[in-house]
């Protein structure tokens, strides 16, 4: 079913016409509980992962105060990463380098990393692929021994919707999304999210503690207008005290390091 963002309650461009030049497309993913497959886009779902490619593991130091046994069954592998998002370009238009890739996979290590890209958060890993280049796929992914359960996404199918965002607090969609604008600086001082090569990096995926709340209820899809809080947090990931973790990419090259910022 389609999910549609309601018209904005304020005529932002009428108030601030200069924002028009800074419009960007964001793809609200609208994750909802479901049974995704390797052939579908998902949050926390199975990845189309080559059988002959080692499953990634984390090599960083961990802060173990919150670690619990990983909740799902599977072959236990120390420090195994877990799937966060699988995005087929056919579902999420605007992902970078469409002439070379049609599948984006994002994983993370579901533990706290004192020395991580965004300290005391899960640590991302990105794979750019073409789906047809993946021959035989792994039958099931290994799972880590322990995790911070706040970082284990509930398996969801996606209902992507393209919207227009502006660099303004009231004009950025809450919830899980791809592309769009950077977050609203508040818990840390602003800094340019720049690559070592000098390019400014761009938002790729936003992982967030819920789809909407009392302050952002105007973003609740019109198709679910009468459902109250039922779909407020299907993914059930908690970043910090309810924050947002945004993964960035370098537009110069896919193999430049990704950055992450918590807002
Ligand atoms: Zn780790
Ligand atoms: Zn770069």
Tell me the pLDDT tens digit for each residue of 97-107: 999 999 999 99
What average pLDDT does the chain have?
A: 95
Half-sphere exposure of 126 (CA within 13 A, CB side): 22
Ligand 1 centroid from CA 63, angstroms: 9
Give the model's pLDDT for residue 240. Answer: 92
Q: Provide the pLDDT for residue 35.
A: 97
pLDDT at position 11 is 87
Whether residue 77 is predicted with pLDDT greater than 90 in this model: the reply is yes
pLDDT, one tens digit per residue, over 157-184 is 999 999 999 988 889 999 999 999 998 8
68's CB contacts (< 8 A; 6+ apart) are 146, 147, 148, 149
Ligand nearest to the CA of 255: 2
CA dihedral over 105, 125, 84, 251, signed as positive or negative? negative
Residues around the ion ligand 1 (C-beta < 5 A) = 58, 60, 109, 111
Residue 118: pLDDT above 80?
yes
Residue 106: beta bridge partners? 85, 126
Ligand 1: centre distance to CA 116 (Å)? 8
- Ligand 2 centre to CA of 128 (Å) is 16
Sheet holding 24-28, edge to edge: 161-165, 24-28, 177-179, 202-208, 244-249, 259-262
Q: Which ligand is nearest to the CA of 196?
A: 2
Whole-prediction pTM: 0.96
- Tell me the ligand closest to 124's alpha carbon: 1
| Residue 201 alpha carbon to ligand 2 centre in Å | 7
């Amino acid at each position: 079913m389609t999910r549609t963002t309601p018209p904005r309650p304020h005529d932002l461009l009428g108030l601030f016409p200069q924002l028009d030049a800074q419009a960007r497309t964001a793809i609200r993913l609208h994750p909802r509980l479901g049974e995704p497959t390797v052939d579908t886009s998902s949050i926390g779902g199975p990845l189309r992962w080559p059988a002959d490619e080692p499953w990634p593991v984390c090599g960083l130091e961990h802060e173990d105060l919150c670690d619990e046994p990983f909740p799902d069954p599977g072959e236990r592998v120390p420090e195994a990463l877990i799937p966060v998002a699988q995005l087929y370009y056919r579902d999420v238009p605007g992902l970078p380098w469409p002439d070379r890739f049609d599948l984006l996979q994002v994983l993370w290590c579901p533990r706290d990393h004192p020395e991580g890209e965004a300290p005391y958060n899960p640590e991302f890993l990105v794979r750019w692929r073409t789906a047809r280049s993946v021959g035989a796929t792994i039958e099931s992914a290994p799972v880590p021994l322990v995790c911070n359960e706040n970082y284990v996404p509930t398996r969801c199918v996606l209902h992507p919707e393209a919207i227009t965002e502006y660099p303004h607090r009231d004009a950025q969609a809450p919830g899980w999304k791809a592309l769009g604008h950077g977050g609203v600086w508040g818990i840390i001082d602003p800094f340019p999210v720049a690559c070592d090569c000098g390019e400014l990096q761009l938002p790729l995926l936003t992982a967030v503690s819920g789809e909407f709340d009392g302050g952002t209820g105007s973003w609740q899809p019109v198709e679910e207008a009468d459902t109250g809080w039922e779909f407020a947090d299907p993914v059930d990931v908690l970043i910090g005290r309810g924050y947002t973790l945004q993964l960035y990419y370098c537009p110069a090259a896919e193999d430049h390091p990704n950055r992450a910022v918590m807002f």
